[in-house]
Amino acid sequence: MGVKKKRRMTAVLAVIWCILLSVIPVFGAGDDYRIEQLYINMPDVTAYYRSSQGDNKLEAYLGGEKLTLKDVENFSKTGEAVEYYVLLDISGSITGERFTDIKTALTQFRSELRENDSLILLTFGNEVTQVLGGTEDQQSAAAVINGLQNDNANTVLFDAINTAADMIWKVGDSSEKRRIITVISDGKDCADDTRNAESTENTLKSRGIPVYTMAVENNEGDTEAETQNYRSKFAAMARNTGGVPWTVADGGTALDGLHTVRDAVMNSYRARFQASSNRVSNKKEDFVLKFLSAGNMSDTCSVLVSRGQKDETAPEIKSVTSEKADSISITFTKPVENAKDAGNYTVTRDGEAVPVKQVVAGENAKTEVTLLFDEDLYEADYEIQLKNITDQSNEKNPLAQTKVTLSTDWPKPKTSVMDLILKWWPLVLTLIFVILIVVVLVVLKNIKKKKNVLIIEDQVVQADEVEERKHIHMDQIPGKNIIIWISNGKDTPKRMEYQLRGSAIIGRASGCDIYCDDPMMSKQHFVLEYDNGKIFIHDLQSRNGTKVNGMPVEKKYPLHSGDEIKAGNLKFRIEWD
């Protein structure tokens, strides 16, 4: 007797366990942190997501651009309305008993909706038909639902899903509502028409629309393996689009499934982000959501970016400053384009043009630029004219101001010899040319007289006056093989092998032994020297100085393998055996 009771209890528990498995949605390992739905109307991006820990420490990226987080809240507390698009299979494949249960469930679910929520019902069999528009009262909706029959010979599942997706897409920017699709069917079409299934799934994902699936029994006598095959593919469509799959079996009701869908929606979270502009690409872009409190777990979906709000706000110049004598910094009120083109700036001082050598991004690369000049500015009023600069919006709003003035108090530089040369360069150039011609003529005349001439110990002598001649090869000059690691502080350091013979000049000028395209370096910044088996560094009176291991150097200074040299924006680590 005791054994029979034990076996009976085990059987009951097994049945209960099977029922639970049939009605409880199963999530994958990554479903604890997952994007359910996206709504994009640039620059606003709204993400609905699941998080097992209620994670509100998020980072989001759209097309590689980091978005600004505005707020995060549990969806049930947002007050945002939900529009449930329920698609009901009315083919004869669903048993009469189950179809009656579904109609009862829809009527009950419709009565439980919140005041602002709505139920839009589409049936699909031989064709797709919208039977409820979401505005009916409860009595009228119940009458329509009660009158439905499942007597169609065919089923156009994917036409129904695409119809609902098109409806959602068309009204998507007319009101702030969350819109989801729930499909009630046996799901067999997902196995019979895999090409249509894949195409429909891609459409849903690109539009950020989730599908929640409710798989019910059919009366077609399929084997357990066949049923498992198409139900798994039906469930996969839900998971792949951000929805939740659910399966009803003996002992379960369709109302349980509708409640599962509602609970999944209400227990999700809403995060609202903002991009830097309303620009749309009209193509698919990757949206990445990072859950920082969960070890930087992330979920990614590819979504079509084609909606944007109108932007009529023109960018303005927020500030103009001169922090260094050879530069002017400009900050704009919003991200702009064409601001790094030096040709879009005309700078004058007392009516005289001051050429802009280069324009580089400031600390905030989107809204700040720095104008660099070959000559230092000094105490004066500078007029800056700007052109062709717009914001990054779809409208390309032009800059509100095209002219600004800046007063500087930098000391006026003394006139140098170089300034005089530049002022009188035509005369200087002519004089140099004449001197060169004279020197060449003298050398040629001397060579004719003394064809065999050598230079020994800085003395010019005739070859016949030398008892022994010696040819000096370059490989006889003492040298050292070194490795130079060059870094700009952002990218991976670059490795360069170099044979240091005698000395090597490093700077910005192309005539240097090693030259770098860094505007903060001087044309000839510093020199490396190899002398008696040791390597030395010497600063060449550079504008911004040279540091070794953080300490400034001016005179000849000995280096050790592994020392780090800082010049301009670059760092050089020198290594040798």
Mean pLDDT of 17-33: 44
- Closest CA relative to residue 544, chosen from 490, 574, 508, 510: 508
Which of the following CATH numbers is that of domain 77-273: 1.20.120.1780, 3.30.390.10, 3.40.50.360, 3.40.50.410? 3.40.50.410
pLDDT in tens, 87-121: 999 998 898 999 999 999 999 999 999 999 999 99
Structure tokens at 127: 């064709």
Tell me the C-alpha to C-alpha distance, in Å, between residue 308 and each of 48, 60, 66, 276.
Answer: 19, 18, 18, 12
pLDDT of 396 > 90? The answer is yes
- By mean pLDDT, which of 22-26, 498-502, 538-542 is the weakest? 22-26
Mean pLDDT of 354-366: 90
The chain-wide mean pLDDT, for the chain, equals 85
Give Dmax (Cα) for the chain. 135
CA pair distance 561, 4, nearest whole angstrom:
85
Mean pLDDT of 148-156: 92
Which of the following CATH numbers is that of domain 480-575: 2.40.30.110, 2.60.200.20, 3.30.479.30, 3.40.50.920? 2.60.200.20
Residues ≥6 apart with Cβ < 8 Å to 339: 330, 332, 359, 369, 389
CA pair distance 384, 249, nearest whole angstrom:
75
Q: Which residue has the higher pLDDT, 162 or 248?
A: 162
pLDDT in tens, 32-78: 788 999 999 999 999 999 987 766 789 999 999 999 999 999 999 99
pLDDT of 310 > 50? The answer is yes
Third-level CATH fold of 317-408? Immunoglobulin-like (2.60.40)
Instruction: Specify the pLDDT at position 18.
Output: 40
pTM of the model: 0.62
pLDDT in tens, 254-287: 999 999 999 999 999 999 999 999 999 999 999 9
CA pair distance 85, 204, nearest whole angstrom:
14
As a whole-number percent, the residues of the chain with pLDDT over 90 amount to 64
Residues ≥6 apart with Cβ < 8 Å to 215: 185, 186, 187, 231, 234, 235, 245, 246, 247, 248
- By mean pLDDT, which of 157-161, 266-270, 463-467 is the weakest? 463-467
Domain boundaries, the chain: 77-273, 317-408, 480-575
